Every structure is written in C-alpha cells, then in structure tokens.
Structure 1
Amino acid sequence: MMFLKRTAAAILGGAILCSGAAFAANVNTVSAEQPVADTAVSTDVTAQETPAVMAERNLYYGKITEITRDEQTGAVTSLLMESEKYGAYVFHLDESTLLLDSGAGIRTTADKLAVGDGIYVFHSPIATMSIPPQSFAEAIVTNMPQDAGCAMLHTVEAVKKNEDGSVTVTTDRGGLQLTIAKDAVYGDFNGRQIMGADDLRVGTRIFAWYNGVEQSYPAQATTNHVAVAPAKAQENMTISVDGTALEVTAKIENGTLMVPASAAGKALGLTASYEKTAEGEKVTLKNDKTTMVMDIGSDSYLVEGDMVLSYGAATVIEDGVTWMPAQALADLADADLSLATGAVAFTTAK
C-alpha cells in the first residue's frame, strides 16, 4: 500500500530555509516560443523526439525601470522591465504571484521591489501584441547571489520514490526529471517549517536549486534544496483511470489537486458511504484491502482505524459532491497519480 510508503519524514525534515546561500541553478524551463534566459538549456534531440507542447511558463531576466501601484492600497500591480537580450516587457502582478528571495530561500513581498533591481520573472507564455508586450507574472525571484543562479520554478506532474530514499519528480510537461536527494532541505514557501518528501504532491509547485541539466530527453537534474509552493488554481481538468476518461472533472483549489470522491473512487474500485453524526459529517471510502474515513471540513484522513494522515486540504461537500485530495485517493487505491496539461491520470497496477 502507498500509505505504508508515507513516512514520518514530514515531522523530522525541518525546513531551514535561511541556512545560507542558495545552490546554483544554471538552467530553466525551455520555452516552445523562445529561449527566455541566458541560462536556458538546449537539449540535443530531434523534433520527432521532443513533443511540440507549449511551455507552461517562460523565464525572463531584466531590471525594473518602473513600478505601478494601486492608488488606494499601494499594492504593486505591474512592473516595467528592460533586458539587454529580450527588450522591454510589462509584467502584471496580483495576490497569486509568488515572490521568492532566492539567496535566503524564503518568501518575500512585492513592496520590497525597487527600481533598478535585477530580477527573474516566470510568466505566462501568452503575451499581448503591444509594444512593449505584457504578460502575467506567475512568480518573481529576487536576490540571486553573484556565484549562483536563481531558483527554478516547476510544477509537480508525477512523483516516484526511489529505493535510495531520493524522490524523482517529473515536470516541465514531461521534459524534465528532477531527482531530489534523500537528505534534501525541504522548505514551505508559505512558512510551515515541517516539510518532507510527502509534501511533493502532484499539482503543487516547487522552487528548486540545482547546478545543471543532463542533455537528454527527458532532461535529468538533481537537487538537495527545494521550497514547496501552492498549486496554481485550475478548473475542469479531465480525469482518467487506466486510460479511460471519466465524466467528472478535477480542480486545483487552495493549492491542492481535488477530485470527486465518489465518482473517481468508483472508477478505482472503491465504494463510498456518507454518515452524519452528532460530531459531524463523515465520508468513508473502502475496497477489499483498506478503508479511509474522512471528516468533512477537516484535513484528517483515518486509514484502517489507527493511522491519521494529512494531505494539505480538507474534504468538502459542494453542491452534493464530495471533493477530496487526489493524492489521498491515489494512495487509498494504490494507484500512481500524474498530471499533464490539465489532465489528471490515475494508473493502477493491474
């Protein structure tokens, strides 16, 4: 069972994010539209070997020349930037934009940005045709030490735990396999200090520091320092089980990939039941091997009556549908979980 592979590492892996200089990172996500940074890696493969898929995000480096703020709140709403290599660009920010101090490895805020700062911007590959072009800033990375590159932003698409204790994450639309060392420092972008490999859930985003990438397809890299960030909100994501599409859809909400418990569970051979007691509402999922009881409104998942797990989000009921973390369902069904371009896939060992 995958439950038994989950360990107490989360309570031991204290994330010492302010522990010194970040590790060097000399590569970035390769854009399908343009090379986006001096550190971009060109993989030596043919067009037939590399799927023609638009990059999830592009990377831009430049200096801030103008900062626009909201007249009422003073919040930063956009940055006008200039780059010797890529020219001028306008990046729009909102409360969902991630800001990371790469040197310290901790979250920072937009009010600390100043004209003249050199920063990296991970932005949408979609931009206006205006001059200068405009795009939305998904993440901004500041304070890069002179002897190191910036932390790279990736979305976790699949997770594999290796026999040596390391974890391999598939990311960049399948184009990169990032191995995180057994003794890696895990940090929480949002400030929680107890983190570990079990927090690497499909759909979440990570900042990673690493030195280089093996030029293959998929590319290979290794890191021993990551900061886990919330997943990016999405809706109407397709769900499949062993290649068969379901009629229901998934969503990423409040940083967690969620699926309809009953419909997705049924496709995975599970049965669901609902109970309302004086203590509250409960939903139970079970098969012939194990049982999971979920307290509605709580990030508490009781397995086999004596193991309580957390998946970073509570089970909720909305319009008669029970939503649960996809990773909890995958663990219960002993299935692999992956994410690719808005498609959620469960794969069982038949």
Structure 2
Amino acid sequence: MKTLVCAALSCALLLTPALAAEPESGVSSQAPTGTASYQLPEQLGWIYRWGTASELSGDSVLLHAGGETEQDILYHISDQTVILNAVTGEPMTADQLRDEESLYIYSAPVMTLSEPAQAGATLILASIPADYGVPMARRVTSVTRDGDSVSIGTEDLVYHLSDETKVSGLSLDELIPGDYVVGWYDMVAESYPAQTTPETLILLDGGNAGWIHADLQSVSLNGAELELSEQELPQLQEGKLMLPVRAVAEELGCTVSWDAQSPDQVTVSQDGQTLYTLALDGEEAYAASGVSFAPVEQILGVHNLYFVP
C-alpha cells in the first residue's frame, strides 16, 4: 500500500519526493504529454549496503557490512520486503537466505541509533554471482508512454521496453516517479543518460502517494492542477521553489490547523490524528511525539500562509 503523505510541499522531506525545479532556474517546466517526471531529492532515496549475512531468523538478518562501511546492521524483514535472486530476478523467500552468504540490502535512509543499528529491509538481492555483477535498484524519474511504447527514466539510465521485456512487480500503469526499477540487460548505449533495452524488469513500490509538478504559476498533483489563489502560488526563495502547505495537504485529504496560543506553528493532521508540526522560520518538522524527524532547511511565512521547499 502506498503511503499517503500530507505535507505536499515537504514531499521531498516527509516521505514523498516533491517535484524539484529545473537545475538552472529553480523552476520546473511542465512535463510533456504522456510523461510523468521530476528530479528526486538524493537524501530520500533507498540506500544499500552489501556484506555477509548472519543470525537469520526468518524476520531479520544481521549484515556484517563490507566495503568502507564496517557497521553491522540488523535488517527487519516484513511482508513488504522484496527478496530477489540477483542472477535470474526470480523471487525468493526469507527462509532461502543462508548464513555467511553475501547480500545486497536496500532500505530507507532512516535507522535506529542502537547497537547494532536497525532498519527495515525494502529489497534484498541474494545468490550473488561470483563476479558480483548485481543489478541496481534505481529510482524512477520519468515514465513516458507513446502508444504501446514505454520508456522508464532513472537518474542515470533509461529503460526502453520491448515486446520481449519481461515485467513483474507493479504494473506499468501503477508505476510513478519515486518508485524503483531493477533491470537485467546485456547492452548499454553510450549516451547521456545511458540507455538500454532490458530482458527483465521488476518494478517496486517506492512508498509514495503520488507525484507533484510545480512552477511559479501552478502546482499539479498526479497530473491534476490545483486551484490556487494568487497568494497561494509557489514562491521562489533563495533559489528554492516553496509550495503552499495548506493547499497541497488538503488536496491529499489532510487538515491544516493553527492555534492562536502558538501563532508560529501549524499542525497537519489526518482523521483526527496529528501527523507533524511545522514552525515558522524553523528548520525541522516535528512528529506528534515532539521528535524532530525531517530537516526542511527553511519554512517560509507569507500572507499568513506557510510554504516549504
């Protein structure tokens, strides 16, 4: 199930990536017909580590990390964790993992500050080949459909699907920017970005409620433009495109409230439950427990409205 994130503006920080601006101007352009695309914030992407498995229990695995990272991490395996054979792409189960085998494990960047650190595994690649030729999980930045032709763009590789491409996981109709793709292919065209026609693609849910496209004149949620007043239009502040909290959050089914006793704060809630609090001119969002969980760099107040990047 996709996570509903109600701080649209802070999509880049509150679990759903926001559509970023063009590299030079800081303002994004309208995506072409048939294309959903945006630049993704690096800090929110899945991170992966490789190492040796131990202490397998069926619902967790301790990874003795290889490479430059020597930190051991305890990964929790859930029903949502995808486990794949790195050679064939075939699905595997947790009980097929073996002690002392090499694994590549992807997770969200959040982990506990315990010993060992703990995180939830989103993707595990097992049965690693001798040459360590392991396919990478790449975040989707664009999905282009032209008739029966489909191309999936990522940050460094474009997959052009053919009639022979075997696709599993999410359906192509479900795939949106912010989801992930794992591909098996033989040849890569030397272009920028690089391009390939894969033999096998596995499409994975990135946990996003949708995607946002914005510029100084408009904000669109999943391709549908929001009705905004002149005061609610995005603001450009220090090179960052700032989106209106209330307009986007309410479109996502959330409630945005303000308390006269705390005039410098706004609260976003859903179904009566507080999700987080934003402080004017602050640098972080706070969960209901008061724990800081999302640095937002800047929160802007204009005409009694809140904007975040």
What's the TM-score, normalizing by structure 2?
Answer: 0.49
